[in-house]
Amino acid sequence: MSALSVQDLTVDIETPNGPLRAVNGVGFEAEQGETLALLGESGCGKSMTAQAIVGLLEPIASVTQGSVTLNGTDLVKASRRKRRQMAGPELAIVFQDALTALNPVYTVGTQLAEPFRIHRRMSAKEARGEAIELMRRVGIPHPDKRVDAFPHQFSGGMRQRLLIAMAVALNPTVLLADEPTTALDVTVQAQIMALLKDLRAEREMAVVLITHDLALVAEEADKVAVMYAGHVVETGPVSEVFGDPGHPYTKGLLDSVPVHVARGEELASIGGTPPDLASIPSGCVYQARCPLARQKCRDERPQLKATQGQRKAACHFTEEV
Amino acid sequence: MTGFLRRRAVTSLLPLIAVLLGVFFLARLTGDPANLYLPVSATPEQRQNFIEANGLDDSIWVQMWDYLGGVLTLDFGDSLRTGESAAAMALRAFPATLQLAFSTMLIAVVGAVVIGSWAAYRPNSVADRISSFLSMTAASVPDFWFAIVGVWIFAVSLGWLPTSGVTGGMASWVLPVATLVIRPLGVLTQVVRGAMVSALSAPYVRLARSKGAGDLRVVTHHALRNAAAPALTVAGDLMVGLINGAVVVETIFGWPGIGKLMIDSILGRDFAVLQACVLLTAVSIFVLNILIDIGYALLDARVREKVSA
C-alpha cells in the first residue's frame, strides 16, 4: 500500500463570478522511502494540491471531490481534530519562504519544541533537548547556543534547515516539500536537497517534492507527476518519463531546457500561455499550445490512462509524441 | 538597556522644559489673581500687600526664573487658595486619577483583546458585529454625553448608582469607568482586530497549523504576540489621554483627581497648583512612553537588537 494516495482530488476557488476549478481530478501515489515530484509551472495547481493535502487551503478554496488517503485515513473526510492529531506525526510540510514561515517573535528553540509539546506533551525542558538534537541533526552549528536565537539571526539556508527540522521532528509518514529551495542560491540548494534525501532514507518517509525545476526532479525524484492547468497530464518513473515523454507538454518542457545550444541560437520554448482557469477549453487542456492537436482533442478531454509499465499519460496521441 | 534609558531621559528633557514654560505663560493669560482673590472693595493697600506677598509685582521674567529655580529644587510654590504646598496637592490628587485610568485601561485592553481577536478569527460573527458597533460608538459619541445620560438614567431615574463622588464604594466607580472606557475600548478593539486579521493570515500561522497547533494556541500564542505591538502603541496613546484628559469626566462625577484639580486651579488663577499638576502629568506621560518602548523590546527580539545597537 502506498504511504499517500491521492485520488480524483478537486479544489474549487470561490469567486464573485462563480467557482474556479484550480485542481481538477488530480491523482498520484507516493511510496515510503521514495520521492515523488509534482512538476508544473506557476499557477498549474501544484501548490494548491499540496495545501489541500495538508488541509491548509485559504478559506475561499475548498476540496469538492476526491480523497487523500494516509495510513488508512481519508484526510478529506477526517474531522478537524483528527487532522490536527495527524499534523506532525503523520503528515508534515516544508514551506517555501523560510523567513516568513518562522514566527519572528519566538526563539527557534521554542518553535522546534512545539511539535513535541503539542503531540507528546513533553515538558519544556525535555522538548528543548529534542529541539537541540534536531538542530544538530540538520547541521546547524553550535545548536546548544543557537537554540535561543531568533529566526532573523539565521541565514536563508539555515532557516530552511530549521523548517525541515520542524517538519521531520515527529518522523512523519509523508513529508511535503513545497518549493523548498526556490528562495536559496544554488550551492545551498544542493545542501538542502542532500539533507532531505538523507532524512528520507533515515526516517523512511515518502517525500512529495513540489517544484517547477526540471533539473531538481531529474536529480532527486523517483517518480514524477506533471501538472498542467489543474490536471495531471503525465506520470511515471522520472527516468522513463524524462527519457521518452508520453505527453506533448512534458516533451515541450524538456525541449526547452538549453542543453546543446550554441551562442546566438534561438532557445526552444512552448508557444502561447497556459489557459485562464476561468476559460479552460472543453477538450484537452493543452490543445491551444499542442503541436499534435487535432479535432479529437477539441471534442474530447483525454483521460490519464496507462501506457506502459507504471506510466500514464493523458493524451489521445501519446504514441506520436 | 541602561544606555537606552539614559538617552530617553535626555531627549525627554527638552520637551519637558517646553511644557513648563508653556504652562507658565498660558496660565498668566487667564487673568490677574489679585482681582479674583480680593473683594471688589479692597483698598489699594490691601491689593499691594497681596501682590507683594505672592511676588506678582516682579517682572514676568523674574517670576519665570523664580519658578524654574523652584522646580529644580522640587519647590513648586504654594497654593493661592489654601496656602498648602502645590506639589503636595497635585500628588494627593494623582492617585485617584491613576486608579481611574488603570482600571479603565485594564477593562479596555482585556475587552479589546477578546472581542478583537474573536472578530478577526470569525469574520461576520457576533463578535465582529460587536466590534464594529463599539468603534462606531467610540468615534461618534462624546464622553460628556455618556456621562450625563448615564447619570440621568442610572443615578437619577433608577437610583442604582451615586451621581458623583467616591464615597459610594464600588458603585461610585461604575459610571466614571463606564464613561471613560468606551473610547479606548472601541478604538483598541478595532486595532486588535486589524492586527489579528493580518497576523492570522501570516505564513507562520500556517506553519503552526501544519504542526498540529489548535485554534486557541494559534490565536493566543502565535498571532496575538505579533499583533501586540500596534495595539501597544495605541493603548499608550489612549492611556495618555486618560491620565491628563479625564478632566471632563472627573468634573462631572466630582472625582477628586488631577483633572478636577487642574480645572479648579485654572478657575481660581492658582498658578502654582496648575503648574505642578501639568508637570506631574507631563512627567508621567514621559515615563509611560518609556514603559511602552520597553514593552516593544520585551515583545520582539528585533526591537531589542535595535535598542542595544
Q: Which of residues 280-319 of A touch B (CB under 8 A)?
A: none
- Average of pLDDT values for B158-179? 79
Q: Which residues of A touch B225 (CB under 8 A)?
A: 105-106
Give percent above pLDDT 70 in chain A: 100
Model pLDDT for residues A241-261, shown as the tens digit of each residue = 999 999 999 999 999 888 777
CA neighbor of B180 nearest in space, from B234, B108, B251, B113: B108
Residue B256, domain member (yes or no):
yes
Q: Which residues of A touch B213 (CB under 8 A)?
A: 84, 114, 118
Distance, CA of B308 to CA of A232 (rounded, Å) = 54
Q: Which of residues 189-228 of A touch B (CB under 8 A)?
A: none
Residue B42, domain member (yes or no):
no
Residue B11, domain member (yes or no):
no
Residue B125, domain member (yes or no):
yes
Residues contacting residue B94 through CB under 8 Å, at least 6 positions apart: B257, B258, B280, B284
Task: Test B212 with A102 for CB contact under 8 angstroms.
Answer: no
Q: How far is CA A13 from CA A19, A39, A57, A286, B199, in A?
A: 5, 21, 10, 21, 22
Q: Which of residues 115-144 of A touch B (CB under 8 A)?
A: 115, 118-119
Nine-digit cell string for A209? 517534492
Nine-digit cell string for B95? 492617585
pLDDT at A301 over 90: yes
CATH number at residue B242: 1.10.3720.10
Distance, CA of B39 to CA of B47 (rounded, Å) = 10
Q: Residue B99: phi, psi to the nearest 5? A: -60, -45
Model pLDDT for residues B270-283, shown as the tens digit of each residue = 888 888 888 888 88
Q: Which of the two residues, B15 and A200, has the higher pLDDT score?
A: A200
CA neighbor of A108 nearest in space, from A48, A161, A62: A161
Give percent above pLDDT 90 in chain A: 76
Nine-digit cell string for B278? 501639568
pLDDT at B25 over 90: no
Handedness of CA A68, A69, A71, A74 (dihedral sign): positive
Residue B113, domain member (yes or no):
yes
Model pLDDT for residues A123-149, shown as the tens digit of each residue = 999 999 999 999 999 999 999 999 999
CA neighbor of A127 nearest in space, from A169, A65, A80: A169
Residue B39, domain member (yes or no):
no
Q: Tell me, what amino acid is at B226?
A: N
Q: Picking from A1-5, B74-78, B120-124, B278-282, which range would have the lowest pLDDT averaged per residue?
A: B74-78
Given a contact cutoff of 8 angstroms between Cβ atoms, the answer to whether B226 and B199 are in contact is yes
Residue B85, domain member (yes or no):
no
Residue B191, domain member (yes or no):
yes
In Å, the largest CA–CA distance within chain A is: 67
The angle subtended at Cα A279 by Cα A275 and Cα A281, nearest 5°, is 75
Strands A312-313 and A305-306: antiparallel
Domains for chain A: give ranges and CATH numbers.
4-79+212-320 (3.40.50.300)
Chain A nearest-CA residue for B301: A105
pLDDT at B168 over 70: no
Q: How far is CA A304 from CA A52, A223, A301, A318, in A?
A: 21, 16, 10, 11
Tally the domains of chain B: 1
* Domain range enclosing B176: 96-266+277-308
